[in-house]
Chain A
Amino acid sequence: MILPDNRIMDRIPEIKPTHRILSLREKTFSATRYLSIEQAKIITRIYQENENLPVILKRAKSLAQSLLEIRITIDPEELIVGNRTPDIRAGVVFPEAGLSWLFREIEMLPLRSQDPFQVKQEDLSYFQKTLEPFWRGKTLEDDIYETYGNELKAIEEVVKINQKDHAQGHICPKVEDWLKYGPGGLLKIAQEKHRRSTPESKNFYESVCITLEASCKYIKRYSIMAADLAKDQPENELKKNLEQIAHICLKLSENPPGSFREALQSVWFLFVILQMESNASSFSPGRIDQYIYPFLANDLKTGRIDLLIALELLDALFIKFNQIVYMRNTHSAKYFAGFPIGFNCTIGGQKANGDDATNQLSYLMLKAQDHIRLTQPNLTARLHKNSPEAFLDECSRVIGLGTGMPQIVNDESIIPSLKAAGFNQHDSIDYALVGCVEIGTQGNYLGWSDAAMFNLVKVLELTLNDGKSMVSGKQLGPNSGYLFNFSNFSDFEIAFQNQIDFFIQKMMPACEVVERFHQIHLPSPFLSSVIDDCITKGIDVTAGGARYNLSGIQAIQVANISDSLAVLKKLVFEDEAIGKGQLLKALKNNFAGNEPLRQRCINQVPKYGNDVAWVDELGARWVGYFARKIKMYKNFRGGDFQMGLYTVSAHVPMGFYVGATPDGRLAQTPLADGGMSPMNGRDKLGPTAVLNSVLRIPSMMASNGTLLNMKFLPSLFNSQEDRRKFTSLLKAFIGLPIHHVQFNVVTSEELINAKTDPESHRGLTIRVAGYTAYFTELAPDLQDEIIKRTTYGEA
C-alpha cells in the first residue's frame, strides 16, 4: 500500500524495521569470519599465464576473471544483492599488495586478540605451499621493505608509514557518473578514448575497458542466478523478489538505473567491484542523499514506492555495508581496530548555491541508522548555520541511541579550510567524509589521507633525552642535549623544533617510496573509470590522474603535547618547582618510586581541555608548525601534503612507543584519544570548556580531517527538554572553527559490564575514533581506554 509522505515522515520515530530486515541483519551479524583465498587463486593464475604483460593489464585481467568466476550467492530474502565472497565478512587475501605479513601471521589469525579470522585447513596449506611461494619477492610490500625497510625501521618509533601492504583506498568515487551512465555507458566512453589513444595511454584505456566489460557481465550473473532461484520457489513473496532482482540486474548489466531500488543496487555493485579490484579500506559512497534523491523523488511522484518501501530498501543497503570487511595485519589491526572499512555516507550539508541540501532521504538515512545499528555505514551528518531545526533534532535523537552515529561535521569550518588547501568553490562545497573522518571532495580526489602518522609526543620525549629513545634506548634523533642542558623554555623549544624537522626529513622520502611502488604494483583501472580526470587525461589514479592529489599526515597528539609542554614551561622552567634532572630521571624510571612527582605533574598545572588559553596555545603552536612544515614538500603525484589531527585507534599502539611524559602519563600507555580530544580524565569542566580549548587548535590547517570524541550519559537524551540542550550544543559547535565531533552515549558501568560479560553485549557498538566498532570485539587495552574517557551530563 502506498502511503502519502507526510503521514510517514510524522511517524518516523516509531517505524520499526520489517521482519525481513531483522532476519537479514541477524544473518550478517552472526556469521563467522573466514579467511578467503578464492580470488587470490584467480589472480595468481592470471599473473602466471600473462607473465609478460604490463602490470596494469594483468591487474585488469585479474579483476575481470574474478568478476566472471568468483562464486556468488543470493539470499532469497535480500533486496540488495552482491558480495565479493560467498561468505559474509570474509577476510580476503590479496596477493599483489603483500603476503609476507600473512605468511608470518596466518596460523595466529584465529587466535589474535584484535579482529581474528578462522582459517580452513585446505586454505592454510594452499596458502603455504603454493600461493605464498609464488608471490614471494614480487609484491608491493616486498618491494617497499627490500628498498626501504631499514629506513622505515629506523623511524618506526616516531613515524608510522601506512599502506605498505595494501591498496590505498580512501577515496570517494564519482557515483553520480556511475548512476548516469552505468558500466555499459562508461565502457562506451572508454572505448572511444581507447580508439584514439596514444602509445602511453593505450594500456590504460584497454585496462579500463576490460574491467568495465567484465563488470557488466558480473552484474548479469546475478540476474541469471536470481532467475534460476526463482524457478525453484513456490509462488510467494520470495519468488516475486527473486524475479525482481533478476529483472533489475539484467537492466543494470546494460543500462543505467531508473528507479530508487535500481539506483541503490547499482551503488552497491560499484562498491563491491571497487573492493574486488583493490581490497582496501575506505571506498566511501559520499553524499548518497544528494545523488540518489532524484530517483526517490521520481518514484514517490509516480507512486512506484512510498517512503516505507524506500526505508526498507535503504535498511537493506545499510546491512550490505556490513558484509565486506577488510583484513589487516595484526599490527595494523591495533591502529584500526574493529574493521573500519569506511563506507562513509554523508548526509545534509549544502547545495552548490549554498542552500540547505537536506531532503527526505537524509531523514530516511537517519532512520535506517536507527533501525540497523551496526558498525557500517559510517554515517556522517554535515551541519551548517542554516541546517533545519528538524534535522538537528533527528540527528540528536539518533545520536542518543548510542551507536556513535551520525558523527557531526561542520560546513562552516570545513569548506573554508578546503578552499585554503586549494580546492575550488564547487568541489569544496560538495565535500564528503572519506573513511573515518578524512575530508575529501567527491569523485576527483586521491587524498592519500592516511600516508603517515607522526608521533609528536615521541619527538618530545626524544628532545628531553638528547635524541635517545627512553623505550628502546636507541639513538633515534640528533644529539640536541638533555633537559638539564637547557637554560630556558625557548631553548628547549628550539631543540624540539630541530627534532621535528629531522624526522619530517626522514619521513618524506619514505612516503615517496610507498607511493612509487603503489604506481608500479597497484594501478587501478576500474577505480580510474570513476575518478575525474583519469579518463580525460588517460592516466591511472595511482599515477596522478585525479584532479586533486594531496597526501595527508596526522600530527599526534595535541593534548599530550600541550599538557607536557605546560608542565615543562611552568613547573620546570618558570617556577623551578621541579628540577630538570629530577624530572628527567623520574621519566626514565617511569616515575617508579616517585608517584608524588607524577601527581604534581598531573595536578599542579592546568591541562588541555579545560579552557586555559596559554596551555592550549602550546599545542596549537606546534601542530601549526608541523602543518606549515609539511606543506613545503610535494608528494610523488605532485600534490601538497596536508595535516590531519586524528588517530583512529592508533593512540593505543602509538602510546606504546612513548616513554613516560611530563604530563604524568606513564610509559607505553595510550596517548589522548581521537586527535583533538583532551587526555582522558584530565578535562574537568565539561564539554563547553573542551570545545573552547579545541577551538584554539588551528583546524583550518588540518584540512585532511580532525577528530574530537565526546562521551555523554544516556540520561541526557531521556527527555525532549534535555535533548534540546544537546541540540543546542550542536548548534554552538556549528559556530566554532572545529571540523568534527562525535559522541558516545553510554555509561562507563555498561562498558565495564560488557567487558566482563561480552556474550550478553554482542550488539553494543561504540565510537572508537571516526568509526564505530563492536565494543566486545575490541582488544582489552582499547576497551580500557574508552572506559576511562570522561563522561559528561552528570547532575
Chain B
Amino acid sequence: MGKHDQTEGWIFKIKRFSIHDGPGIRTSVFMKGCPLKCVWCHNPEGINPDISIWYNRKLCIACGQCVEVCPTKALKLTYDPAPVIKIDKRSCHLTGECINTCPTNALQFTGYKTTIDESIREIEKDLAYYQISGGGVTLTGGEPLYQAEFSSEILKACKQRNINTAIETSLYCEKDIIDRILPYVDLFIVDLKIFDPSQHTLFTGRSNENIIENFRHLAASEKTVLVRIPLIVNITDTNENKAAITNFVFETNEKIQVEYINFNPLTENKYIQLELPYLLKKEENSNNML
C-alpha cells in the first residue's frame, strides 16, 4: 500500500471489544507517551514514551530462568521472604532475552514498536463488528497526540477504510497538531480534568492554558466533541471544579456534552509492577496525600 504504511510508532496495547470508549463495538489502540503525569493515571505504563521492562509478581513462579539468560546480569532472584525478581534498570539494555524466556509472561516490555500496516491488520479483524454496531477505532493512551505523526497516519488509514474514528485526548499539544488530525477524527473525547490552572499543575504536572486554548479551537470546528471527566475524590469531583468545567464548555460551545465517569481504583497494582509511586491511595484525600 501507500508509502506511509511503514510509519512506526510505539503502543502498549490493542484492546478489542472496547465498549466504553465511543459508540458501538470498538478497538482501542493505546499509544505510548504522555506529557502530563496525572496522579490517578489509569495506564501509568503509557506515560513514559520510552520502553522499559515490567514485572508482574503474581505471575512469577520463581523459576530463575530470566536471571540465567540476562547478558548484563540485570536481574536477581531475591527473597522478601517470598521469592521475587529484582530488576536493576541501569544495567538492563532491553535485550529481551528474559522476556522471551519467561514461561509465564511475568516479564514484559511496557510497550512495543509497530507500524501502520501492522496496526491496521489488527484493527481490521473486527471490521464486521464495527459495521454492525456503528463502532470503530479509538486512539487512547498515553496521549495519542504525543505521537502526532503516527496517530494521524493511523486515523487517516482508518478513514480510507471507512472505519469510524475516535480519539481520547487531554489536548495538551501544539495547536497545529489539532489541525493536522482534525480531518481524520469523527469523535473527540476530551478529558479537561481540572479547570483551575494551579490545581491542574499540581495534579498533572502541567498547567492547562494550552489545553483551554486548544479546546476553544477544537470547539469552533464542526467536529463532534465529548468532554469526559474521571471523578477523582477531592481533585476532579469537587463542585467548584465540575461547575467551572461545565460553564466553560457551555460558554465555548453549548452543543458539547460533559460526562462524568466513575474512576476505577484497581490501578494501584500496576504502579507496584512498574515500581512507580502511587500517590492516590484509596480513602486518603488529596491534602494528606501530597
Whether A729 lies near B25 (C-beta < 8 A) is yes
Cβ of B128: which chain A residues have Cβ within 8 Å of it? Answer: 732, 735-736
Taken residue by residue from 670 to 691, chain A's Cβ proximity to chain B (1 for < 8 Å, 0 otherwise) reads as 0000000000000001111100
Cβ of A736: which chain B residues have Cβ within 8 Å of it? Answer: 128
Whether A597 lies near B133 (C-beta < 8 A) is no
**How many Å lie between the Cα of A595 and that of B17 in the bound state?**
32
**How many Å lie between the Cα of A599 and that of B17 in the bound state?**
27
Whether B19 lies near A688 (C-beta < 8 A) is no
Cβ of A692: which chain B residues have Cβ within 8 Å of it? Answer: 125-126
Residue of B nearest to A735 (CB): B128
Cβ of B17: which chain A residues have Cβ within 8 Å of it? Answer: 685-689, 792
**A728-B25, A732-B132 given as contacts; is B103 within 8 A of A597 (CB)?**
yes
Cβ of A724: which chain B residues have Cβ within 8 Å of it? Answer: 133
B3 within 8 A of A: no
A716 within 8 A of B: yes
Whether B103 lies near A599 (C-beta < 8 A) is yes
Cβ of B63: which chain A residues have Cβ within 8 Å of it? Answer: 595-596
Q: Is the interface of B mostly helix, strand, loop or mixed?
A: loop
Cβ of A180: which chain B residues have Cβ within 8 Å of it? Answer: none
Taken residue by residue from 122 to 135, chain B's Cβ proximity to chain A (1 for < 8 Å, 0 otherwise) reads as 00011011001111
**A729-B25, A732-B133, A735-B132 given as contacts; is B19 within 8 A of A722 (CB)?**
yes
Whether A599 lies near B25 (C-beta < 8 A) is no
B104 within 8 A of A: yes
Whether A596 lies near B134 (C-beta < 8 A) is no
Whether A795 lies near B129 (C-beta < 8 A) is no
**How many Å lie between the Cα of A687 and that of B19 in the bound state?**
12
B20 within 8 A of A: yes
Within 8 A of B (CB), among A566-612: 595-600, 603-604, 611
**How many Å lie between the Cα of A725 and that of B16 in the bound state?**
13
**A728-B24, A732-B128, A735-B128 given as contacts; is B103 within 8 A of A596 (CB)?**
yes
B61 within 8 A of A: yes
Cβ of A725: which chain B residues have Cβ within 8 Å of it? Answer: 19, 24-25, 133, 135
Cβ of B24: which chain A residues have Cβ within 8 Å of it? Answer: 725, 728
Whether B132 lies near A731 (C-beta < 8 A) is yes
**A596-B63, A603-B105, A692-B125 given as contacts; is B16 within 8 A of A728 (CB)?**
no
**A595-B63, A597-B103, A692-B125 given as contacts; is B20 within 8 A of A795 (CB)?**
yes
Cβ of B19: which chain A residues have Cβ within 8 Å of it? Answer: 716, 722, 725, 793
Q: A294 CB to closest chain B CB, in angstroms?
A: 34
Taken residue by residue from 506 to 546, chain A's Cβ proximity to chain B (1 for < 8 Å, 0 otherwise) reads as 00000000000000000000000000000000000000000
Chain A CB count within 10 A is highest, among B16, B24, B264, for B16
B7 within 8 A of A: no
Cβ of B20: which chain A residues have Cβ within 8 Å of it? Answer: 795
Cβ of B16: which chain A residues have Cβ within 8 Å of it? Answer: 685-686, 688-689
**How many Å lie between the Cα of A722 and that of B63 in the bound state?**
43
Cβ of A685: which chain B residues have Cβ within 8 Å of it? Answer: 16-17
B65 within 8 A of A: yes
Whether B103 lies near A688 (C-beta < 8 A) is no
**How many Å lie between the Cα of A756 and that of B48 in the bound state?**
43
Taken residue by residue from 697 to 736, chain A's Cβ proximity to chain B (1 for < 8 Å, 0 otherwise) reads as 0000000000000000000100000101100110110011
Residue of A nearest to B61 (CB): A595
Chain B CB count within 10 A is highest, among A686, A687, A716, for A686
Q: A571 CB to closest chain B CB, in angstroms?
A: 11
Within 8 A of A (CB), among B91-147: 103-105, 125-126, 128-129, 132-135
**How many Å lie between the Cα of A206 and that of B129 in the bound state?**
58
Whether B264 lies near A795 (C-beta < 8 A) is yes
Whether A611 lies near B103 (C-beta < 8 A) is no
Taken residue by residue from 184 to 198, chain B's Cβ proximity to chain A (1 for < 8 Å, 0 otherwise) reads as 000000000000000
Q: A748 CB to closest chain B CB, in angstroms?
A: 14
**How many Å lie between the Cα of A795 and that of B128 in the bound state?**
22
Whether A599 lies near B134 (C-beta < 8 A) is no
**How many Å lie between the Cα of A688 and that of B135 in the bound state?**
13
Within 8 A of B (CB), among A160-211: none
Cβ of A735: which chain B residues have Cβ within 8 Å of it? Answer: 128, 132
Residue of A nearest to B103 (CB): A599
Whether B129 lies near A603 (C-beta < 8 A) is no
Whether B103 lies near A604 (C-beta < 8 A) is yes
**A603-B105, A688-B17, A728-B133 given as contacts; is B125 within 8 A of A611 (CB)?**
yes
Q: A759 CB to closest chain B CB, in angstroms?
A: 30
Q: B230 CB to closest chain A CB, in angstroms?
A: 11
**How many Å lie between the Cα of A600 and that of B20 in the bound state?**
33
Within 8 A of B (CB), among A591-642: 595-600, 603-604, 611
**How many Å lie between the Cα of A596 and that of B134 in the bound state?**
44
**How many Å lie between the Cα of A728 and that of B105 in the bound state?**
34
Q: B262 CB to closest chain A CB, in angstroms?
A: 9
Cβ of A722: which chain B residues have Cβ within 8 Å of it? Answer: 19
Cβ of A687: which chain B residues have Cβ within 8 Å of it? Answer: 17
**How many Å lie between the Cα of A722 and that of B25 in the bound state?**
10
Cβ of A595: which chain B residues have Cβ within 8 Å of it? Answer: 61, 63, 103
Whether A599 lies near B129 (C-beta < 8 A) is no
Cβ of B132: which chain A residues have Cβ within 8 Å of it? Answer: 728, 731-732, 735
Whether B129 lies near A596 (C-beta < 8 A) is no
**How many Å lie between the Cα of A688 and that of B25 in the bound state?**
9
Cβ of B264: which chain A residues have Cβ within 8 Å of it? Answer: 795
Cβ of A689: which chain B residues have Cβ within 8 Å of it? Answer: 16-17, 125
**How many Å lie between the Cα of A685 and that of B134 in the bound state?**
20
Residue of B nearest to A604 (CB): B103
Whether A599 lies near B126 (C-beta < 8 A) is no
Q: A377 CB to closest chain B CB, in angstroms?
A: 30
Whether B129 lies near A728 (C-beta < 8 A) is yes
Q: B60 CB to closest chain A CB, in angstroms?
A: 10
Residue of B nearest to A686 (CB): B17
Cβ of A596: which chain B residues have Cβ within 8 Å of it? Answer: 61, 63, 65, 103
Cβ of A793: which chain B residues have Cβ within 8 Å of it? Answer: 19
Taken residue by residue from 777 to 795, chain A's Cβ proximity to chain B (1 for < 8 Å, 0 otherwise) reads as 0000000000000001101
Q: A592 CB to closest chain B CB, in angstroms?
A: 14
Taken residue by residue from 8 to 24, chain B's Cβ proximity to chain A (1 for < 8 Å, 0 otherwise) reads as 00000001110110001
Within 8 A of A (CB), among B1-47: 15-17, 19-20, 24-25
Q: B143 CB to closest chain A CB, in angstroms?
A: 19
Q: B174 CB to closest chain A CB, in angstroms?
A: 31
**How many Å lie between the Cα of A598 and that of B103 in the bound state?**
8
Residue of A nearest to B17 (CB): A686
Whether B104 lies near A599 (C-beta < 8 A) is yes
**How many Å lie between the Cα of A722 and that of B132 in the bound state?**
14
The 10 A-B pairs of least Cβ separation, nearest first, read A728-B133, A686-B17, A599-B103, A600-B103, A596-B63, A596-B103, A599-B104, A732-B132, A731-B132, A688-B126
Return 23 A-B CB contacts under 8 Å, by A number: A596-B65, A597-B103, A599-B104, A603-B103, A603-B105, A604-B103, A685-B17, A686-B16, A686-B17, A687-B17, A688-B17, A692-B125, A725-B135, A728-B24, A728-B132, A728-B134, A728-B135, A729-B25, A729-B133, A732-B132, A793-B19, A795-B20, A795-B264
User: Which A residues are within 8 Å of any B CB, using their own CB?
Assistant: 595-600, 603-604, 611, 685-689, 692, 716, 722, 724-725, 728-729, 731-732, 735-736, 792-793, 795
Given A596-B61, A729-B25, 20 new contacts (CB under 8 A): A595-B61, A596-B63, A597-B103, A598-B103, A599-B61, A599-B104, A600-B103, A603-B103, A604-B103, A685-B16, A686-B17, A687-B17, A688-B17, A689-B17, A692-B125, A692-B126, A728-B132, A728-B134, A732-B25, A792-B17
